[in-house]
Amino acid sequence: MIIATAGHVDHGKTSLLQVITGVDADRLPEEKRRGMTIDLGYAYWPLDERRTLGFIDVPGHEKFLANMLAGIGGIQHALLVVACDDGVMPQTLEHLQLLKLTGLPSLTVALTKADRVDKARMSEVEQQVRELTAQFSWNDLPLFVTSSSTQQGIDALRQHLSQLRESPGDTRRRFRLAIDRAFTLKGTGLVVTGTALAGKVEVGQTLWLTGASQPVRVRALHAQNQPVTQAQAGERIALNLAGAVEKAQIERGNWLLAEPQAEGFSRLVVEIDLLQPLRQPTQAVHLYHAASHVTGRLTQLSDRLAELVLMTPLWLAENDRIIIRDNSAQQTLGSARVILLHGKKRGKRQSDYLAWLEALADAQDDRQSIEQHLIQQPGDMAVLTWARQLTPEAMSELLSRLNPVSLGGLLTTEQQAGQWQSTMLSALAHFHQYHQEQPGIGRDRLRRMALPGLPAGMIYALIDRMLAQGLINHRQGWLHLPDFEPRFTASEALLWQQTEPLFLDQPLWVRDIAQALTQDETAIRDLLLTAARLGHITAIVRDRYYRSDQILIFADLIRQHDAQGISTTTADFRSQLGVGRKVAVQILEFFDRSGFTRRRGNEHLLRDAQLFQLP
> What percentage of the chain's residues is helix, strand, coil (to nearest 5)?
35, 30, 35
AA identity, residue 520: D
Q: Is the pLDDT of residue 34 over 70?
A: no
Rounded alpha-carbon distances, angstroms, from residue 220 to 205, 216, 226, 236? 10, 12, 11, 14
Whole-angstrom distance, CA of residue 405 vs CA of residue 95: 47
Higher model confidence: residue 345 or residue 72? 345
pLDDT of residue 377: 87
Question: Residue 522 domain-assigned?
Answer: yes
Shared domain check, 457 and 569: no
Beta strand pairing call for 52-57 and 41-46: antiparallel
Shared domain check, 69 and 216: no
- Contact partners, residue 569, CB within 8 Å, separation at least 6: 602, 603, 604
Query: Closest Cα to residue 190, out of 230, 217, 223?
Result: 217
Q: Is the pLDDT of residue 32 over 60?
A: no
- SS3 of 71-139: HCCCCCEEEEEEECCCCCCHHHHHHHHHHHHCCCCEEEEEEECHHHCCHHHHHHHHHHHHHHHHHCCCC
Q: Is the pLDDT of residue 35 over 70?
A: no
Query: Closest Cα to residue 161, out of 87, 69, 258, 52?
Result: 52
Question: Residue 302 domain-assigned?
Answer: no
Are 408 and 461 spatial neighbours (Cβ–Cβ below 8 Å)?
yes
pLDDT of residue 76: 84
Whole-angstrom distance, CA of residue 556 vs CA of residue 584: 15
AA identity, residue 274: L
Whole-angstrom distance, CA of residue 80 vs CA of residue 6: 5
Q: Taking all residues of the chain, what is their mean pLDDT, rounded to a whole number?
A: 90
pLDDT of residue 105: 83
Question: Residue 309 domain-assigned?
Answer: no
Shared domain check, 188 and 145: no
Task: For residue range 61-81, list pLDDT tens digits in order.
Answer: 666 677 777 777 777 899 999
pLDDT of residue 40: 80
Whole-angstrom distance, CA of residue 498 vs CA of residue 516: 10
Which residue range(s) make up the domain with 155? 2-162
Q: Residue 2 burial (CB < 10 Å; 0-12/13-18/19+)? A: buried
Q: How many helices (H) and strands (E) does the chain have?
A: 19, 31
Task: For residue range 491-541, list pLDDT tens digits in order.
Answer: 989 999 999 999 998 999 999 999 999 999 999 998 998 898 888 999 999
Question: Residue 224 domain-assigned?
Answer: yes
pLDDT of residue 533: 83
Q: Is the pLDDT of residue 295 over 90?
A: yes
| Whole-number percent of the chain with pLDDT over 90 | 66
320 pLDDT tier (thresholds 50, 70, 90) = very high
Query: Closest Cα to residue 20, out of 126, 110, 142?
Result: 110
At 506, which CATH number? 1.10.10.10
Residue 233 burial (CB count, 10 A): 25
Domain count, the chain: 4
pLDDT of residue 58: 80
Q: Is the pLDDT of residue 31 over 60?
A: no
| Whole-number percent of the chain with pLDDT over 70 | 97
Question: Residue 104 domain-assigned?
Answer: yes
Q: At what angle do helices 490-499 and 521-533 cross, to 10 degrees?
A: 90
Q: In what order do the strands lie in the sheet with 143-145?
A: 41-46, 52-57, 2-6, 77-83, 106-112, 143-145
AA identity, residue 614: L
Beta strand pairing call for 379-380 and 332-340: unpaired
- Contact partners, residue 565, CB within 8 Å, separation at least 6: none
pLDDT of residue 271: 97
- Contact partners, residue 449, CB within 8 Å, separation at least 6: 427, 431, 441
Last residue of a domain, one of 140, 162, 184: 162
pTM equals 0.78
Are 200 and 232 spatial neighbours (Cβ–Cβ below 8 Å)?
yes
Rounded alpha-carbon distances, angstroms, from residue 200 to 177, 207, 300, 502? 10, 11, 36, 77
Mean predicted confidence (pLDDT) in 328-348: 92
Shared domain check, 64 and 138: yes
pLDDT of residue 475: 77
Residue by residue, DSSP assigns 376-416 as HS-EEHHHHHHHHTB-HHHHHHHHHHH-PEEETTEEE-HHH
Shared domain check, 126 and 83: yes
DSSP 8-state assignment for residue 441:
B
Whole-angstrom distance, CA of residue 17 vs CA of residue 33: 19
Task: For residue range 419-462, list pLDDT tens digits in order.
Answer: 999 999 999 999 988 887 677 898 889 999 999 989 999 999 99
Task: For residue range 465-501, list pLDDT tens digits in order.
Answer: 999 999 999 877 789 999 887 788 889 899 999 999 9
pLDDT of residue 615: 62
Measured distance between the N- and C-terminal CA atoms of the chain, rounded to whole angstroms: 70
pLDDT of residue 36: 62
Question: Residue 217 domain-assigned?
Answer: yes
Are 268 and 343 spatial neighbours (Cβ–Cβ below 8 Å)?
yes
Torsion sign, CA atoms 397, 398, 401, 404: negative
Question: Residue 187 domain-assigned?
Answer: yes
Shared domain check, 501 and 472: no
Q: Is the pLDDT of residue 415 over 80?
A: yes
- Contact partners, residue 571, CB within 8 Å, separation at least 6: none
pLDDT of residue 611: 87
Residue 498, phi-psi category: left (phi > 0), alpha (psi -120 to 50), beta (remainder) = alpha
Query: Closest Cα to residue 210, out of 316, 293, 361, 123?
Result: 316
pLDDT of residue 28: 61
Last residue of a domain, one of 257, 277, 303: 257
Shared domain check, 500 and 445: no
262 pLDDT tier (thresholds 50, 70, 90) = confident
pLDDT of residue 268: 97
Beta bridge partners of 324: 287, 334
Shared domain check, 151 and 27: yes
Beta bridge partners of 177: 196, 256
pLDDT of residue 228: 94
Q: Is the pLDDT of residue 338 over 90?
A: yes
Shared domain check, 123 and 7: yes
Shared domain check, 181 and 59: no
Residue 470, phi-psi category: left (phi > 0), alpha (psi -120 to 50), beta (remainder) = left
For 407, how many CA atoms within 13 A lie in the half-sphere containing its CB? 28
Torsion sign, CA atoms 336, 378, 455, 452: negative
pLDDT of residue 29: 65
Beta bridge partners of 79: 5, 108
pLDDT of residue 24: 81
Whole-angstrom distance, CA of residue 140 vs CA of residue 142: 7
Q: What are phi and psi of 77, to 5 degrees?
A: -145, 145
Last residue of a domain, one of 162, 193, 220: 162
Question: Residue 368 domain-assigned?
Answer: no
At 65, which CATH number? 3.40.50.300
Shared domain check, 185 and 76: no
Most distant CA atoms of the chain, gap in Å? 122
At 184, which CATH number? 2.40.30.10
Whole-angstrom distance, CA of residue 212 vs CA of residue 185: 20
Mean predicted confidence (pLDDT) in 562-588: 90
Shared domain check, 14 and 141: yes
Residue by residue, DSSP assigns 490-516 as HHHHHHHHHHGGG-SSS-EEHHHHHHH
27 pLDDT tier (thresholds 50, 70, 90) = low
